[in-house]
Structure 1
Amino acid sequence: MAIPAPSSQREMRQRNLSRVLYAVAGAGHVSRATVAARIGLTRASVSTLVEELLRAGFLVELGPGRSGGVGRPGNALALTDLGPCGIGAEIGVDHLTVCAVDLRGQVRARQTEEAPNRGASPAAVLDRLGSLVERVTVDAGAAGLRPAGLAVAVPGLVTRSSTTVVRAPNLDWHDTDVAEHLSGPRPLTVDNEANFGALAELWQREADGAPGDFIHVSAEVGIGAAVVLDGELLRGRRGFAGELGHVPVEPDGPDCACGGSGCLEQYAGEAAVLSAAGVETHGAGGRSAALAELRARAERGDPGALAALRRAGRALGIALAAAVNLLDPRAVVLGGALAGLAPWLLPALEAELQRRTAAPGAVPELAVSVIGSEGPSLGAAHSVVRTVLSDPLPYAAAR
């Protein structure tokens, strides 16, 4: 997507400061000369921008380091591990997670609480989440960090550019404004957990030099998906794009919490797979223990576990074939709990894609996320960090 030309001197300065920060972020440790070469500005211009960012506390100098060219080594630059940080939170059906991520992308504080959230009032859940946010904020402060904002991932539909959860079937939330009940840093951003998970995957793939063109699928109790095309998250008119879990794979199948029947979640959601495999979900250790038991049974070749995972893989393949035919992505990425079960899901999934994909040639690359279940909270926190990197001036002024 083309970046519009800056309309003022301030916008030009903000854009160039941001370009320098992203260049340093992408390299880790880098010289002024290398930054200038990467962003296409003169060394003198970059040096002026760097000095401003050093004074504002966004960059630090690490001492002499080679830039890869000839001549004397310059002082290596790096993003600071102090100052602004992103606070990211995830509301799951049976857990809450909050983390703080610094400008270097490192997790500096984390709190997790295992608790059933389905059936609890939104106010009660968000009050407990606010307590976790406060603890993470205190821990981050002790490490020399200050929150630049809070982003929250939820398993439901969120109205675009708002903090309102329109519907979260697996939490039984309807028209809930998170901002009304959640204390903590501002500004506050709320988005679907699959969107934040996909953004975390996108930014990781960009760092690894992989194309930003994929469908990201993740599972908890329900199944979420997000579509990234040409490096951009596809949100839809209202922000509701990506509800793969509610694509029907068996029109006359079991009723779903969304009001439909035969939805993908009823065959490939965590609860459905664990139930089909005969794994107890209410024992000691909760969800994590149940998933570990399912994996252990699959590794032992347990027929019930293997059959449940084959059924889930087939259902995923049917639903994804429709998305692949519609969008023609380069890759399909399995994240969340699906990542750990990929060895037993992928054969049936790939077989369905091979059978149902209309375009000639190979099906999209099938990949497993390296981020796993931490994707939504990390994506949320990194979204705040990227806000700082994209427009550092307000955060410099707050110093």
Structure 2
Amino acid sequence: MTAPLHEAHSAGPGRALPDTQQGMRRRNLARVMHTVSAEGPLSRAAVASRIGLTRAAVSTLVDELVRAGLLDELGPERPGRVGRPGSALAVSGRGPAGIGAEIGVDHLAVCAVDLRGRVRARAVRQGPNRGRAPEPVAEDLTELLRRVVAEAEREGLWAAGLAVAVPGLVASDARTVVRAPNLDWRDTDLAALFPPELPPAVDNEANFGGLAELWLGEDTPRDFLHVSAEIGIGAAVVVDGRLLRGTRGFAGELGHVPVRPDGPGCACGGRGCLEQYAGGEAVLRAAGIEPGENRVELLAERAERGDAYVRRALREAGTALGIALTGAVNLLDPGSVVLGGALAALAPWLLPSLREELDGRTAGRACPVTVSRLGSEGPLLGAAHSVVRRVLDDPGAVAGRA
């Protein structure tokens, strides 16, 4: 049975808990879990030293987390240490798991991630979703979910919650897709289409991609702009380690920033939007390639072989990206721009013109542009890890059910 997922738009440790004795206990449980997750295996004494509590207090907290199945005792620490060896603690590889799902324009995907961050089960369905009603898409995704949850349960895991990434604007209620132009969905209560035992928290795929980069990326600064692409283009703005959502939760719609105001019409109702020049279908069109499966791989393969049409299309897409990013960089002054999603695989041919445009329009504001190692996996992993993070943020909620 999947536990309901609360506070869908919380990101990272520090979610407010009541300022009471019970609230203090839950905060300290979270401090222990985050410390062991980030630095373990650690002894009780090492945990106490890092979080500034007494060994006795930490031992009581650890015992509770071990009983709840959130921490494992691995046995005595390595020999050679002075004094009595303590038992090494590690985050459990069994128990709660985060279930992440992604609705793409041409695929559905689901995965289960344990508290150690390992993907333990995964299912993918290829096929177009554009123009399909939300109900059959949700049915297909539910079938994949049940398959992944069943596989996870065979591994000794249980679903602590579900988060779903979608290519569109999501309301602050974390359930309503306000508009997804590339799916042709409007005002869809997506959460209502799932069984009650699988209540999802819904968010924009670029937001989950940005959070994945924050949590799983290598040497990622705490202030950055994450740009990802499938058919459309989205962005996530991370400031001081937190996602910038905007008043309605719609921040990051980079794909609908106009780069040529007199350009072609866009599904959003505007003209000359970035997606019309750097979105997946636009690049395929410019390269003379028919849309279909494995389009990114095909573009990369032809570019690698020196196909002049593909390289020109990617160069022009990079220029459009550079123009759109100029405004964001000048306005926000991020520590870096990170290319994710399909853009990561095409970076060798996008980056030269992108950097040229960006550097030429942001004089004195040099901003590094890097490539995500997560690539197209970012949104799915971000969704699953958002559930894992909430367990780490409030393990007392899980311990109370043990």
TM bracket, shorter-chain basis: over 0.9
**Alpha-carbon displacement from aligned partner over 1:17-58 (angstroms, at most 9, x marks no partner):** 000000011014222222122212122221111111111111
Residue 107 of structure 2 corresponds to 95
Match of residue 291, structure 1, among 286, 291, 296: 296
Q: 1:70 to 1:5 in 2, by over 3 A?
A: farther
Aligned partners of 1:168, 1:261: CA distance in 2, in Å? 17
Match of residue 312, structure 1, among 289, 311, 317: 317
Point out 4+ residue stretches in structure 1 off by more than 3 angstroms.
Answer: 1-6, 66-73, 184-187
**Alpha-carbon displacement from aligned partner over 1:177-223 (angstroms, at most 9, x marks no partner):** 01221226444200000001100100114xx4542110000000000
Q: 1:185 to 1:342 in 2, by over 3 A?
A: farther
Residue 390 of structure 1 corresponds to 393
Aligned partners of 1:75, 1:239: CA distance in 2, in Å? 45
Aligned partners of 2:327, 2:354: CA distance in 1, in Å? 13
**Alpha-carbon displacement from aligned partner over 1:105-163 (angstroms, at most 9, x marks no partner):** 11111000001100110111111111111111111111111111110000000001330
1:181 aligns with 2:193: yes
Match of residue 350, structure 1, among 348, 352, 355: 355
Using the TM superposition, name which of 13-22 and 69-78 deviates more.
Answer: 69-78
- The answer to whether the 8 A contact 2:15-2:393 is kept is no
**Within-5 A mapping of 1:259-270:** 259-270=269-280
Report how many residues are paired.
390
1:275 aligns with 2:278: no
- The answer to whether the 8 A contact 2:191-2:199 is kept is no
**Alpha-carbon displacement from aligned partner over 1:242-298 (angstroms, at most 9, x marks no partner):** 00000000111111110111100011111111121122323xxx1x2x222211111
Residue 160 of structure 1 corresponds to 172
- The answer to whether the 8 A contact 1:30-1:67 is kept is no
Residue 125 of structure 1 corresponds to 137
Residue 230 of structure 1 corresponds to 240
**Within-5 A mapping of 1:352-367:** 352-358=357-363, 360-361=364-365, 363-367=366-370
Q: 1:69 to 1:212 in 2, by over 3 A?
A: farther
Residue 77 of structure 1 corresponds to 89
Displacement of 1:67 after TM fit? 10
Q: 1:380 to 1:117 in 2, by over 3 A?
A: same
1:141 aligns with 2:146: no
- The answer to whether the 8 A contact 2:213-2:220 is kept is no
One-letter amino acid of the structure 2 residue matched with residue 260 of structure 1: G
Aligned partners of 2:376, 2:148: CA distance in 1, in Å? 19
Residue 38 of structure 1 corresponds to 50
- The answer to whether the 8 A contact 2:106-2:126 is kept is yes
Q: 1:270 to 1:367 in 2, by over 3 A?
A: same
Q: 1:68 to 1:314 in 2, by over 3 A?
A: farther
Aligned partners of 1:186, 1:389: CA distance in 2, in Å? 20
One-letter amino acid of the structure 2 residue matched with residue 353 of structure 1: L
Q: 1:277 to 1:3 in 2, by over 3 A?
A: closer
**Within-5 A mapping of 1:49-88:** 49-66=61-78, 70-88=82-100
Using the size of structure 1 for normalisation, the TM-score is 0.94
**Within-5 A mapping of 1:3-18:** 7-18=19-30
Q: 1:169 to 1:210 in 2, by over 3 A?
A: closer
Aligned partners of 1:375, 1:226: CA distance in 2, in Å? 12
RMSD of aligned Cα (Å)? 1.8
Unaligned runs of 5+ in 1: none
Displacement of 1:5 after TM fit? 8.5
One-letter amino acid of the structure 2 residue matched with residue 136 of structure 1: V
One-letter amino acid of the structure 2 residue matched with residue 134 of structure 1: R
Higher RCO (CA < 8 A, seq sep 6+): 2
Q: What secondary structure, in the 3-state scheme, does the structure 2 residue paired with 1:7 have?
A: coil
Unaligned runs of 5+ in 2: 1-12
Q: 1:69 to 1:339 in 2, by over 3 A?
A: farther
Aligned partners of 2:81, 2:288: CA distance in 1, in Å? 61
Q: 1:332 to 1:209 in 2, by over 3 A?
A: closer
Q: 1:5 to 1:89 in 2, by over 3 A?
A: closer
Displacement of 1:64 after TM fit? 1.9
1:171 aligns with 2:176: no
Q: What secondary structure, in the 3-state scheme, does the structure 1 residue paired with 2:163 have?
A: strand
Aligned partners of 1:65, 1:49: CA distance in 2, in Å? 19
One-letter amino acid of the structure 2 residue matched with residue 250 of structure 1: R
Identity within the alignment, %: 64
Aligned partners of 1:377, 1:43: CA distance in 2, in Å? 38
Residue 6 of structure 2 corresponds to none
Aligned partners of 2:42, 2:396: CA distance in 1, in Å? 22
